[in-house]
Structure 1
């Protein structure tokens, strides 16, 4: 029997969350999820039929936190004594290869095509400003924020980074850079100073990468596989996601797949995309998924009432959104904790603002060092487009009753009294956010407020400041949940909630809980609106939204 050579093809991208809408599922039908890849490596490490691992790097960039998830999984696979090889045509032809190379260093061996480059040029945090364009168009930006680091509104109100924004961006870049340099230095057995020197010398030709100790071998794909065949003998290459999706292949697999004896359950509840009031959305043609407080609340109540569920992992990958939706979810998390079962928050690439709000009541918060989190702050406002529309011959008139009926109209500026009310609202929400964060994290309000002010942190910096408890990925969070519940990680059932089969989706809802568990149908207009808002940096779902135009590359 030939051995299995597990393949990771990361050139297509990786999904954080399985698509919930039929259209999104069809579009992503051949893409693996992060959890599938991690599970495949964990399972492959224990499978005698799996003899090695080869990964093709490149394609859509992964976030720093996603790369750290994969690095941990590759390290666990290698600990079984099986070889792991990474290859690529080039680590970026014109830069942008730093994070992919950081992932490659988790493998035993790195191959690069002879004509390739090492574009390991460092880390950059980028922000976009449209104030100049708004001025030319005649749009009047009117936004308030709490506090100085809540920089999403700067996109519209400023033409460059403010002092606090630059300070925050500099630390984000510095923290990410420190993590990457240390990871490269440890795995390639180089001094930290040497790694920094090589990064400052990049981009490097492939041969220069070999000479510097950053690359092991030069070769094309066929060379990589020919070499692996010499080492391992004849093998059957198999994509990691296909490997983990296969049915039972032996007696051990069959025993693990049987529904009896019944195993204790750890439920996983995913909060992905913007947080809004209502039901989850699987995402439209142009918009991504969103998490509704009705759906997430129903899932939390369902697991609270299920005696088979012994622990819960909240997997959060969200920049936030609605304040009231986030608060409703937080309430249900606290209600679930009151049953005595541990609730562990596992942060993905980003869990900030409203995404942090729903994580903070958990028993333990786990994040990767490169997770983007914090952003404990609030923003609100509008862009007045009256003059801009007037320039192209469009005008509007309205008749209304009530002094503030048109308060949020894009046709009129805030009156002094309305602006005062907006400021009062911002103060009220910010104070509530800070007070609840302080309560959940067990910190004095004054100490928490100093860490808040809208500031975004990496997971590593957040952990140092007690906004995060432990560093690690989803598997680490799962182990923490098992330890807290007194369970054996190798003898549990991991289930997603809410869990609805095909027939459940077809049946009409019998109660509001049934209705809440259903994903909302998203129209083309919904997706287009969300995409436009995101492109402009507007918070599409609410006042607890982190800076949406910030990019770490």
Structure 2
């Protein structure tokens, strides 16, 4: 080793840590290797799960909330003994009822397990975005948050009129009114009734979740007014109906989770 060719800093490092014949340099380890070989012990922590975008069934895709993916993240936080509380950050216009229920059920399980759950609402937490928020101990909304919209709807598109306009017609014989449901035909009355019943049952389930979770008569009021509100009027209505616990941009949801 030729000391006259080595910078002073490297001389000092070599003196402190020794010389590696293999690397022909002072003994060192890369930051990446060090991180791999040194498990981080962060102690107690708060799990933060993000729900950004429309709520869809299955796994998460870019710009959407996957019901299974988000539920799995919440489950991991629930089962981790170092995670003492969970914050769910919601910024969603809603989406699939099934996916929303999958997320809600997992969040409810976390609360039942004794972990405080705080929902922090972003610009929007409407419809399914509020559905997944119902199990929270505490819900924080921003002054500009658009939330509420406690309602359900369903759409089935048919194209019989479009086909008719170009002279295409369909016909046939089926064993029952529901046996040949197709987008090429108008939806049978029986199918319409089934869909309407499903929507009404889902709506009753929704308002029951809201009323039970917030310990109020919000459900009975929402039956009469299932709409989102905005501006200063919204602040009064949301807190008056206990749809949110507080409206604040300054107070950290993490502080709320520790207090609970």
TM-score higher than 0.5 here?
A: yes
Aligned to 2:222: 451
Structure 2 counterpart SS, 1:382:
coil
Shift of 1:341: 1.2
Q: 1:397 to 1:265 in 2, by over 3 A?
A: farther
Matched, 1:462 2:238: yes
Matched, 1:411 2:184: yes
Shift of 1:396: 5.9
Contact 1:348/1:367, CA 8 A, preserved across alignment: yes
Structure 2 counterpart SS, 1:455:
coil
Unaligned runs of 5+ in 2: 1-37
Contact 1:404/1:418, CA 8 A, preserved across alignment: yes
Whole-Å separation in 2 of the counterparts to 1:398 and 1:296: 44
Whole-Å separation in 2 of the counterparts to 1:358 and 1:265: 22
Contact 2:216/2:241, CA 8 A, preserved across alignment: no
Contact 2:170/2:185, CA 8 A, preserved across alignment: no
Contact 2:50/2:89, CA 8 A, preserved across alignment: yes
1:288-367 paired onto structure 2 within 5 Å: 289-367=63-141
> RMSD between aligned alpha carbons?
2.4
1:280-291 paired onto structure 2 within 5 Å: 280-282=60-62, 289-291=63-65
Shift of 1:454: 2.7
Greater RCO (CA < 8 Å, at least 6 residues apart)? 1
1:360-399 paired onto structure 2 within 5 Å: 360-392=134-166
Contact 1:311/1:341, CA 8 A, preserved across alignment: yes
Whole-Å separation in 1 of the counterparts to 2:174 and 2:67: 32
1:160-309 paired onto structure 2 within 5 Å: 262-282=42-62, 289-309=63-83
Note the alpha carbon deviations across 1:253-306, whole angstroms, 9 max, x for none.
Answer: xxxxx9866342111111111112101111xxxxxx111111111111111110
Higher deviation after alignment, 472-481 or 415-424: 472-481
Q: 1:349 to 1:262 in 2, by over 3 A?
A: same
Structure 2 counterpart SS, 1:344:
strand
Q: 1:293 to 1:468 in 2, by over 3 A?
A: same
Match of 1:430 among 194, 197, 203: 203
Aligned to 2:10: none
Matched, 1:441 2:221: no
Whole-Å separation in 2 of the counterparts to 1:275 and 1:290: 6
Whole-Å separation in 1 of the counterparts to 2:92 and 2:172: 37
When the two structures are aligned, how many residues end up with a matched partner? 218
Structure 2 counterpart SS, 1:320:
coil
Note the alpha carbon deviations across 1:423-464, whole angstroms, 9 max, x for none.
Answer: 2112211111111211111123xx423135431123523223
Note the alpha carbon deviations across 1:160-218, whole angstroms, 9 max, x for none.
Answer: xxxxxxxxxxxxxxxxxxxxxxxxxxxxxxxxxxxxxxxxxxxxxxxxxxxxxxxxxxx
Unaligned runs of 5+ in 1: 1-257, 283-288, 485-553
Q: TM-score, structure 2 length as denominator?
A: 0.75
Larger Rg: 2
Shift of 1:469: 0.6
Note the alpha carbon deviations across 1:476-518, whole angstroms, 9 max, x for none.
Answer: 212211322xxxxxxxxxxxxxxxxxxxxxxxxxxxxxxxxxx
Q: 1:261 to 1:383 in 2, by over 3 A?
A: closer
Whole-Å separation in 1 of the counterparts to 2:228 and 2:60: 26
Shift of 1:361: 1.0
Shift of 1:406: 4.1
Whole-Å separation in 2 of the counterparts to 1:301 and 1:398: 49
Contact 1:266/1:313, CA 8 A, preserved across alignment: yes
